[in-house]
Amino acid sequence: QKEVEQNSGPLSVPEGAIASLNCTYSDRVSQSFFWYRQYSGKSPELIMSIYSNGDKEDGRFTAQLNKASQYVSLLIRDSQPSDSATYLCAVVRGDRGSTLGRLYFGRGTQLTVWP
Amino acid sequence: DVKVTQSSRYLVKRTGEKVFLECVQDMDHENMFWYRQDPGLGLRLIYFSYDVKMKEKGDIPEGYSVSREKKERFSLILESASTNQTSMYLCASISAPGHPNFGSGTRLTVV
């Protein structure tokens, strides 16, 4: 089982719709969770971070974390064509002996928002 | 803002060459990571380091080694480059309670 799994996509939504991206992780000791957006040929850029159960909202983005189900999601409201990119889920897993632990990524979900 | 700098944006090397990819961060972060990214495979962890001279293998360390002599610098070494190491290489650093910061990436082509 992979450390981090994302719904494979690709995902295509019309402009103005809600895009829903999902991610599960395998290690219960995971500490920190992140969503990144990556445009083609560019490095990932942070969209959201979440550390405790529940919802966290930032503008059009909402991250949801459920540690009991080992599940983290990202909702994008009022999707725009500029949101078209690959979205990466990242998880910091606690490791014995290291300060912070390993940082794992899902394979990404490609989102297309059409006008 | 944290700055993570990778020394080269594009690199072309010959099979069998020894290749050094450099990564420097300016925020005294403890943890640094090297990944490669290939289409359909996502970011795969090669090595990471949680302190000077401390390193741990990631999921795909074969053919690679790393060096961390100073806290700000984490180098990835391809001992003898092969064509299957053609990829995008990304460096990241993190320090609690922050989020991972990425360099701009190095696209390496081995011919």
- Contact of B34 with B47, CB cutoff 8 Å: yes
Residue A7, pLDDT > 90, answer no
Residue A89, pLDDT > 60, answer yes
Burial tier of B107 (Cβ tally within 10 Å: 0-12, 13-18, 19+): middle
Q: What is the pLDDT of residues A23-65, one digit of tens each?
A: 999 887 777 899 999 999 899 999 999 988 999 999 999 999 9
List strand residue ranges (DSSP E) for B1-111, in order: 4-6, 10-13, 19-25, 31-38, 42-51, 54-57, 64-70, 73-78, 87-94, 101-102, 106-110
Q: What is the pLDDT of residues B12-45, one digit of tens each?
A: 999 999 999 999 999 888 889 999 999 888 899 9
Res A96: pLDDT: 45
Determine, for residues B90 and A104 on separate chains, whether the beta-carbon distance falls below 8 Å: no
Res A28: pLDDT: 78
* Average pLDDT taken over every residue of chain A: 89
d(CA B85, CA A17): 40
Provide the chain A residues 34-93 that lie in CB contact (below 8 A) with chain B.
34, 42-46, 49, 51, 88, 90, 92
Structure tokens at B54: 């401390």
Residue B58 touches chain A, beta carbons under 8 Å:
yes
**How many helical (H) and strand (E) elements, i.e. helices and strands, does chain A have?**
0, 11
Upper half-sphere CA count for residue B100 (Cβ side, 13 Å): 32
Res A97: pLDDT: 45
Determine, for residues B94 and A43 on separate chains, whether the beta-carbon distance falls below 8 Å: no
Rg for chain A, CA atoms, rounded: 14
Site from B6, B9, B43 to mutate, A interface, most A CB atoms within 10 angstroms: B43
Q: Between A and B, how many CB-CB pairs are < 8 A?
A: 59
